[in-house]
Chain A
Amino acid sequence: MELLHEIDPDLLQKAADIAINRYPNLRVRLRRGVFWNFLEKNDRPLRIQPETAWPCAPLDSRAEDGYFLRILYYRCTISVEMFHALTDGTGAMEFLKTVVYHYLTLVGKTIPDQGMILRGDDLPDRHEQEDSFTRYYRPEKRPQPKEPKAFLLEGTHFEPAGCNVLSGEMQAEKIHAAAKRRNVTITAYLTAALILSIRDSCMDFGYLAPRRPVTVSVPVNLRTLFPSRTMRNFFAVANVCVPLKEEMGFEEILEKVCTELSEKTSRSHLERQIMQNVRLERNLAVKFVPLFLKKMILREAFLLRGENCKTITISNLGRVRLPEEMAAETACASLTLYPTEKSPVNCGVCTLGDSLIMTFNRTIMESDLIRRFFRFVIEDAGTQVKIRTNNWGYPHETM
């Protein structure tokens, strides 16, 4: 989250000390058991740090006093990076909002929380710490359809290895208008634009469209369909799978994206995902498998059923709601996802006021699909795109 003034590290440390009290699910260290890993309370203080590495750099909990999260600052920006086992995007954004809220109040601003901020000086609510997956679990057997193998993005990895973060700040109103013109959601519009860009970047130099379908993995916040106030993980994934042809236009791709999204974000489909997750955890055979075997099996399953079945991930955090006085002190907010070995480009979307920021994080040099994506939204939605990048891999391209 970028503020209007340079960050004062001492005040940010005080704000972090207050904010972490509200989030017992984050104030933990990970311990290894024989059958499962488990989390236990971490009594050490959470130290804020200046940002020195690229966003989503490997997180070594030993260097972070056992924490699986870090609070970073650079000039006017406060960032929170965390391990996905602790919470999802919604939980992380709530935590960041709490930190920024307390920082601004310590700076001397008077900000009424207006029920939009979980204040660190209030006691944590037990509903914020519940496992909502268990709450909505029904012991029924519903088979999950098998996902097809997806087209995988390939490219030349950066040397030295690292992540190139490139974000485009767009005018939220114009993107919203372009989506509304077609009667679709912003997520559907951006997903279709991304698929079109992937297809076109593959068809450069006369190549054919990808033989395998392009599958965009869209995380879904379950709190909207299954009422919950939990700050722990509570999300599912909708894999939007679109088989492509050379002659397909944007409208046709968008239609397929909408059909897939409405099917895979339906209550019954998401319930099936909840059931599958909880059933696996409660399975007696799984319970008694030693941890090291579980890790080996899960790693393979992740590659086969997770990583091989998606081309790219697009996570839309939606509009960040802030009290008016706090929004006036905030320039923009963005979300950066970590790329993986098989999914070397991922993107996060976040909207604050009229600023919609789409952040691409990649481990490969090729930027053609990103260039095509922004070119498309400029032409189709008529928005301006303001680029920010950490220039990883291209240090000579900046002063």
Chain B
Amino acid sequence: MKQCENCGVILSDNQLKCPLCHRGLSKGDVTAGVLIPNPDYPAYPQDRLRQTRVFLSRLFLFLTIAAGGICLFINWMTWDQLSRPWSLLVIIPLLYLWVLAGSLLLSRARGGARILVNTLGLSGMLFLCDLLTGFYRWSVNLVIPFLIMAATVIFTIIVLARKRLWNAYIGYAITMLSLDFLPLLLYACRVATLFWSCAAAGLTALLCLAAMATFTWRKFHDEVIRRFHF
């Protein structure tokens, strides 16, 4: 054991400096050249994987900012010729790429969260693209309702097929079922104009709900009670 003359505390032999005043310590009774590991705590390995991930995400962030900035600049410089904010058509998909990369590659969230985030992100991106290219309503009339329907069917299949993960997915499935009524809401607000596709999304929600209730009524009932308890 060693003692710090400045602080008066006793230190283990592996300490070279006092951790309180950071002054050097005498060698004590340590055999010269023999390395003694810390008896109380492990040596912490450097997390190189994390460092690489941080560097790569910073690099891609810079590239996104650079690409967006250059497009905005060119758009502004050539505004007299085109008079359209076309640069946003580059920036918005770039932002969605971040959502995609974040949810699929970097996030350790469950599959349910990934599907939900990507459905919402993709829907938002396509709606904005539609809005910027004259708003012909192809996004709200067809793409978004079918995208939501596809995601709902996937959730229902997962919930019914993977019984062990049932309660991990049911929360997302309930959220997705609620989202199925979004196209009908858009139709009611006159944002969407094609009734059959919006109604089909609502019908999909009801059918999937019926499927879940029919095949797994007990679990479905208990889970809904637990999720909505107050």
Interface residues of B in 1-41 (CB under 8 A from A): 1, 7-12, 14-17, 19-22, 35-41
- Residue from B36, B44, B45, B229 within 8 A of A35 (CB atoms): B229
B118 within 8 A of A: no
List which B161-199 residues lie within 8 A (CB) of chain A. Answer: 167, 171
Check B10–A385 contact: CB distance below 8 A.
yes
Taking CB atoms, residues of chain A closer than 8 Å to B44 are 52-54, 162, 390, 392
Rounded to whole angstroms, the CA-CA distance of A303 and B164 in the bound complex is: 39
Q: Is the CB of A385 within 8 A of B9?
A: yes
The residue in chain A whose Cβ has the minimal distance to the Cβ of B7 is A371
| Contact A74 B16, CB 8 Å, known A33-B228, A378-B8 | no
Bound Cα distance A288, B229 (Å)? 9
Interface residues of B in 203-223 (CB under 8 A from A): none
Q: How far is the CB of B63 from chain A (nearest CB, A)?
A: 25
Give the CA-CA distance A236 to B146 in the complex, in Å: 53
Give every chain B residue within 8 A of A245 (Cβ-Cβ): none
**Number of residues from B at the complex interface, CB < 8 A:** 33
**Is the C-beta of B42 less than 8 angstroms from some C-beta in chain A?**
yes
How many residues from A make CB contacts under 8 Å with B? 47
Pairwise interchain contact A388-B40, C-beta atoms closer than 8 A: yes
A31 at the interface (CB under 8 A from B): yes
Q: Do residues A398 and B16 form an inter-chain contact, with CB atoms below 8 A?
A: yes
- State the Cβ distance, A168 to closest chain B Cβ, in Å: 7
Residue of A nearest to B38 (CB): A398
B88-127 near A? 1/0 per residue, CB < 8 Å: 0000000000000000000010000000000000000000
Q: What residue in chain B is nearest A2 (Cβ atoms)?
A: B40
C-alpha gap A234/B41 in the complex (Å): 31
Q: How far is the CA of A165 from the CA of B167 in the complex (A)?
A: 39
The CA of A251 and the CA of B179, in the complex, are separated in Å by 65
- Decide if B20 touches A40 in the complex (CB within 8 Å): no
Tell me whether A387 and B9 are in contact (CB under 8 A): yes
Q: Is A386 a contact partner of B14 (Cβ separation < 8 A)? A: no
Let me know if A287 is at the binding interface, CB within 8 A: yes
B96 to chain A, nearest CB (A): 23
Report B45 CB to chain A, min CB distance, Å: 7
Residues 35 to 84 of chain A near chain B (Cβ within 8 Å): 35-36, 38, 40, 50-55, 60, 62-63, 74-75, 77
Tell me if A387 and B19 are in contact (CB < 8 A): yes
What separation, in Å, do the CA atoms of A370 and B9 have in the docked complex? 11
**Residue numbers in A under 8 Å from B228 (CB-CB):** 33-35
Chain A: CB-nearest residue to B45? A52
Q: Tell me whether A33 and B22 are in contact in the complex, defined as CB-CB below 8 angstroms, given that A374-B9, A398-B16, A399-B35 are known contacts.
A: no
* Secondary structure class of chain B's binding surface, majority of residues: loop
Most buried by B among A168, A387, A394: A387
Closest to A334 in B: B40
B39: chain A residues within 8 A (beta carbon): 75
Let me know if A74 and B19 touch, CB within 8 A. no
Determine whether the beta carbon of A74 is less than 8 Å from that of B36: no
Assess whether A38 is in contact with B171, with CB atoms less than 8 Å apart.
no
A397 & B22 in contact (Cβ 8 Å cutoff): yes
Given contacts A31-B226, A33-B228, A33-B229, contact A374 B20 (CB under 8 A): yes
A387 in contact with B11 given A77-B40, A371-B21 (CB within 8 Å): yes
> In this assembly, does A166 line the interface, its C-beta being within 8 Å of a C-beta of chain B?
yes
Is A375 an interface residue, CB under 8 A from the partner?
Answer: yes
B230's partner among A36, A55, A399 (CB-CB below 8 A) is: A36
Q: Is A340 located at the chain interface by the 8 A CB criterion?
A: no
* Residues in A whose Cβ lies below 8 Å from that of B8: 374-375, 378-379, 385
Query: A185 contacts the other chain (Cβ, under 8 Å)?
Result: no
**CB of B93, distance to nearest CB on chain A (Å):** 28
A367 on interface, CB distance cutoff 8 Å: yes
The residue on B at minimum CB distance from A165 is B41
Instruction: Answer whether residue A384 sits at the interface, using C-beta atoms and an 8 A cutoff.
Output: yes
CA distance A286 to B121 in the complex (A): 31
Shortest CB–CB separation between residue A356 and chain B, in angstroms? Answer: 14
| Chain A residues with CB below 8 A from B38, complex form | 390-391, 398
Measured between C-beta atoms, what is the minimum distance from A114 to chain B in Å? 29
Taking the complex as formed, is A389 at the interface, i.e. its CB lies under 8 A from any CB of chain B?
yes
Q: Is the CB of B42 within 8 A of A398?
A: no
| Closest Cβ neighbor of B108 among chain A residues | A62
Q: Are A367 and B229 in contact (CB under 8 A)?
A: no
- Which residues in A have their C-beta under 8 angstroms from that of B11? 386-387
**Which chain B residue lies CB-closest to A378?**
B8
Taking CB atoms and an 8 Å cut-off, the chain A residues in 254-270 that contact chain B are none
User: A52-B42, A74-B41, A394-B22 given as contacts; is B10 within 8 A of A399 (CB)?
Assistant: no
> Does A211 reach chain B (CB closer than 8 Å)?
no
Q: Considering only CB atoms, which chain A residue lies closest to B110 in the complex?
A: A62
Query: B9 — which chain A residues lie within 8 A by C-beta?
Result: 168, 374, 378, 385-387
B21 — nearest CB in chain A belongs to which residue?
A371
Q: Write out the residue numbers on chain B whose beta carbons fall within 8 Å of the beta carbon of A181.
A: none
- Assess whether A135 is interfacial by the CB under 8 Å rule: no
Q: List 12 A-B contacts (CB under 8 A).
A: A31-B226, A34-B227, A40-B226, A50-B42, A75-B39, A165-B41, A379-B8, A386-B1, A388-B12, A397-B16, A398-B16, A399-B14
In addition to A31-B167, A287-B230, 18 A-B residue pairs with Cβ atoms within 8 Å of each other are A31-B171, A33-B229, A40-B226, A52-B45, A74-B41, A288-B230, A371-B7, A371-B21, A374-B8, A387-B11, A389-B19, A390-B41, A390-B44, A391-B38, A394-B19, A396-B16, A398-B38, A399-B35
Interface residues of A (CB under 8 A from B): 31-36, 38, 40, 50-55, 60, 62-63, 74-75, 77, 162, 165-166, 168, 287-288, 367, 370-371, 374-375, 378-379, 384-392, 394, 396-399
Q: Which 10 A-B pairs have the closest CB atoms?
A: A390-B41, A371-B20, A397-B17, A35-B230, A388-B40, A287-B230, A386-B10, A399-B14, A385-B9, A33-B227
